[in-house]
Amino acid sequence: MRFLSALAFGTLMLPLVALANDPNSYAQPDQVRVTHLDLDLHIDFPHKQLDGQATLKLDWTNPQAQSLVLDTRDLKIAKIEAVGSDGKTTPLKYALAPRDKVLGSKLTIATPKHPAQVRIVYTTSPGASGLQWLTPAQTADKKLPFMFSQSESIHARSWVPLQDSPAVRFTYDAHVTAPKDIRVVMSAPNDARHPLDGDYRFNQTHPIPSYLLAIGAGDIAAKETGPRSAVYAEPSVVAKAAHEFEDTEKMIATAEQLYGPYRWGRYDILVLPPSFPYGGMENPNMTFATPTVLVGDKSLVSLVAHELAHSWSGNLITAASWRDIWLNEGFTTYVQGRITEALYGKPLADEEALLSARALQKDIAAMPANAQKLAPDPRGVGADDSLSDVAYDKGSWFLRTLEQRFGRADFDAYLKGYFDHFAFQSITTEQMLDYLKPNLIEKYPGKMSWDEVNAWVYGEGIPKDAPLPDSPRFDAIDKQRGDFLAGTLAAAKLDARGWNTQEWMYFLDRLPDAPPLAKMQQLDAAWHLTGTPNAEIGMRWYSHAIAAGDKAVWPAAAEHMIRIGRLYLTTPLYKAFAKTPEGLAYAEQVYAKAKAGYHPLTQQAVESIIAKAKKANH
């Protein structure tokens, strides 16, 4: 996943995958494990629910176990039964515990006879945290309704009863029915030529964790971009998306040259409506992506490089707990940079690395001490909060440091071996380090001490000798920004005509938090930033202009906030407005218009910002 949101970080520690249970899950995989999921679902758009059944194949590891414990959130259970080898069913007694605000409801099924399979017949809630239902009016083409899932971190339990922990991996089959003209896709191999007959079957043969279980359905067209890749999107968007992502096959081949074969078969991309709360989600075989990267010049396709890279780091090797999520995101951000460099050149890869590093340098000191660590100490924080910039950007910075110390050739060989060694497993930070020590640190002595490794992984902040790439273009932008702010360079004289998206991002990122109003007005007059179709630039521009007190940008900022539901591109504007009473009142008006089109996760984040600001004002 890529969403660059500076959230709090950390979950309870999970030191031994085989023995310990995940603090963010009720499941007890040390007693029994789900090894396969068989789904049979009907998509009911009028009632905004999925109806059907989940049949779980079980591996009983404790002979004395008396029950199967599953994670659920707001599911309506109709019946539960054991399924015999002959297909005959026997009713099972079960108890659904009261709902916990974070974890949902613990489902305990009495299973003293250890059935090989258990079937749960159920219906989801219209307000399921892992599903978003859109009316035709909320889509690009306005013709048919749309539904999509977002299971990471612990939202799969809101649409399937299962062991919702990254430590548990399972294969799955699914049969999904929907109204005719609706295409259904899942995180499994998809057929771009499947007739729109309302009847779909999927088969994921590789074991995946629950957060990678995904479904989407709507007015979806498909356009192939290579022998094993296609883009799926609404009909009015698909051609634009196919053009933007036409290098997908080159990206796959580049990653394979670096880190070994792509093991998932097909790699397709579903471009979702603008309400998708994240930049991208690395669902196996079918990345879910935000339309905000469709800017026409391929300047933001590193998001695809990131989600593709997850096919090695995250999907192939998975963090065993949310506390270890840097193993997914830090490694993936590093691999993303290598793909970007190979396809689009070192200057662009260096610019993107510098952008993230500078942002982290600015923010990390304000984070709680434990949140600054790649592998935080045990403490109870929600799983969703673990996806911070530390996991992405400090993690990738650590790997770039290893590459610099050991040399690219030896580090590449190590990383390829790491992906092979732990393929299709969920591991902890400690397991990763146990492999790193003999296979890199001790294999090439004198290049990096174990104390330095521990400082990166368990230490606060960023080590003082952390290397940064050089970027002559960014250096020139720093000088121009300084001259502009000092008044010795007029806004119209900025050498910005050839700046790419990343260079505008860098220029705006390093403006003062509340820049002088006159400077913002001069900048807008010269470069027409208000109303930009580029959401990355827009988010930065509006945030600074609002902070400067430029009310002229408010309507355009509101349009941005209503049009885009991606957390990273929308919440900074709410935060900027919330700093003044008048701005907060305006933000509340905007949210009233935008709320219906936001994903539940975005609604939750915005409501938290508004509530916090109101509390601070009283």
For residues 243 and 608, give the distance between their C-alpha atoms in angstroms, rounded to a whole number: 38
Residue type, 426: S
- The verdict on whether residue 36 carries a ligand-binding annotation is no
Which of 102, 77, 81, 99 lies closest to 91 in space, CA to CA?
81
* Contact predicate 82/90, CB 8 Å: yes
Q: How far is CA 197 from CA 47, 141, 148, 200, in A?
A: 21, 20, 19, 8
For residues 473 and 7, give the distance between their C-alpha atoms in angstroms, rounded to a whole number: 30
Active site residue 172: no
The C-alpha angle with vertex 90 and arms to 85 and 95, in degrees rounded to 5, equals 125
Which of 350, 282, 356 lies closest to 316 in space, CA to CA?
282
For residues 500 and 507, give the distance between their C-alpha atoms in angstroms, rounded to a whole number: 11
- The verdict on whether residue 310 carries a ligand-binding annotation is yes
- The verdict on whether residue 544 carries a ligand-binding annotation is no
Per DSSP, the three-state class of 197 is coil
Burial profile 539-556: b = 16 or more Cβ within 10 angstroms, e = fewer: bbbbbbbbbbebeebbeb
Residue type, 307: E
Per DSSP, the three-state class of 554 is helix
For residues 450 and 433, give the distance between their C-alpha atoms in angstroms, rounded to a whole number: 10
409 φ, ψ (degrees, to nearest 5):
-60, -50
Q: How far is CA 134 from CA 50, 139, 600, in A?
A: 14, 7, 12
Q: Which of 200, 232, 278, 392 is catalytic?
A: 392
SS (H, E, C) 263-316: CCCCCEEEECCCCCCCCEECCCCEEEECHHHCCCCCCCCHHHHHHHHCCCECCC
Which of 1, 2, 4, 3 lies closest to 360 in space, CA to CA?
4
**Conformation bin of residue 184: beta by default, left when phi > 0, alpha when psi is -120 to 50:** beta
Name 518's Cβ contacts closer than 8 Å, sequence gap at least 6. Answer: none
Which of 62, 94, 69, 66 lies closest to 80 in space, CA to CA?
94
* Number of Cβ within a 10 Å radius of residue 618: 4
According to DSSP, residue 459 is labeled S
Per DSSP, the three-state class of 383 is helix
* Contact predicate 276/602, CB 8 Å: no
**Cis preceding-peptide flag for 471 (omega within 30 of 0):** no
* Contact predicate 396/430, CB 8 Å: no
Q: Which of 81, 244, 307, 403 is catalytic?
A: 307
For residues 313 and 470, give the distance between their C-alpha atoms in angstroms, rounded to a whole number: 27
* Contact predicate 97/104, CB 8 Å: no
As to burial, measured by CB atoms within 10 angstroms (0-12 exposed, 13-18 middle, 19+ buried), residue 264 is buried
Question: Which residue numbers belong to the known binding site for Zn(2+)?
Answer: 306, 310, 329
Binding-site residues sit at 306, 310, 329
Catalytic residue numbers read: 307, 392
